[in-house]
């Protein structure tokens, strides 16, 4: 059986960040393991430095080269989205990813949606999806009155939260019910929802936790929590990866 190829966006690091002398790229292994358990072939992808062998060095051609090869995409968690992308000044706690990284991830998200390639967005991926489609973010919700614990700026131990899912939604279908639980680590959250997206899951405090396409022309789920972190022992969270891989396989059947 051929495993569908699932692109997982990951970060490129200069020399000195991960290794003293060598540049490297990195992806949290929980994402890779969850895709493998689901029957997919995980493929870490990242922005290329300058011009590649096919003559394309910009984010769009970089993403196109990847999307031409893969059957599904996961846009993973990471650093904050640059607030300049949604017309705001940077909050003191906001730590954006590099321009090259973010341009590539936006191109991957937009390209997957344009092609109808199955897409699972997680944490930062959810926020970047919303911004790419002209939505906005709350730059810092940690400690805000009326909100439960969601995370601290760019790190921390996280927390386990419960999620309320809309009956009849794709996420409720995939996760097998209208409630779920999962680990979260975010100090930012969706504010204005982008045109073409709908909210289908929240925490009890009203924080947006799931986005779906209003017009489901292709398979897309975006969750604010980190399903990969508990998927090995939690069938509900593993089901998100199972569904993505199943859709990717069906696309090439």
* Residues catalogued as catalytic: 123, 226, 228
CB atoms within 10 A of CB 73: 30
- Is the CB of residue 93 less than 8 Å from the CB of residue 151? no
In 3D space, the residue among 235, 223, 136, 137 whose CA is nearest the CA of residue 185 turns out to be: 223
> Rounded distance, CA 203 to CA 189, Å?
12
Backbone angles phi, psi at 229, to 5 degrees: -70, -30
Distance of CA 143 to the CA centre of its chain: 24
> Rounded distance, CA 124 to CA 226, Å?
10
Given CA atoms 199, 200, 206, 207 in this order, what sign does their dihedral have?
negative
């Amino acid at each position: 059986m051929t495993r569908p190829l699932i692109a997982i966006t990951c970060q490129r690091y200069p020399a000195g960040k991960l290794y003293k002398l060598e540049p490297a790229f990195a992806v949290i292994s929980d994402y890779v393991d969850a895709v493998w358990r689901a029957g997919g072939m995980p493929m870490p992808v990242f922005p290329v430095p300058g011009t590649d062998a096919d003559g394309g060095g910009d984010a769009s051609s970089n993403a196109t080269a990847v999307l031409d090869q893969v059957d599904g995409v996961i846009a993973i968690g990471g650093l904050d989205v640059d607030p300049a992308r949604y017309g705001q000044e940077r909050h003191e706690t906001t730590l954006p990813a590099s321009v090259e990284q973010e341009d590539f991830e936006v191109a991957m998200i937009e390209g997957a949606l344009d092609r109808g390639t199955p897409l699972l967005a997680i944490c930062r991926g959810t926020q970047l999806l919303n911004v790419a489609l002209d939505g906005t973010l709350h730059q810092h919700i940690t400690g805000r009155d009326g909100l439960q614990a969601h995370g601290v700026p760019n790190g921390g131990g996280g927390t386990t939260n419960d999620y309320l899912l809309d009956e009849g939604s794709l996420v409720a279908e995939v996760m097998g019910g209208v409630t779920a639980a999962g680990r979260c680590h975010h100090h930012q959250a969706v504010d204005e929802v982008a045109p073409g997206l709908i909210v289908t899951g929240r925490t009890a405090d009203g924080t947006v936790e799931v986005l779906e396409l209003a017009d489901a022309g292709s398979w897309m789920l975006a969750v604010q929590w980190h399903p990969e972190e508990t998927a090995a022992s939690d069938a509900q969270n593993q089901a998100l990866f199972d569904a993505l891989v199943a859709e990717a396989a069906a696309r090439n059947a």
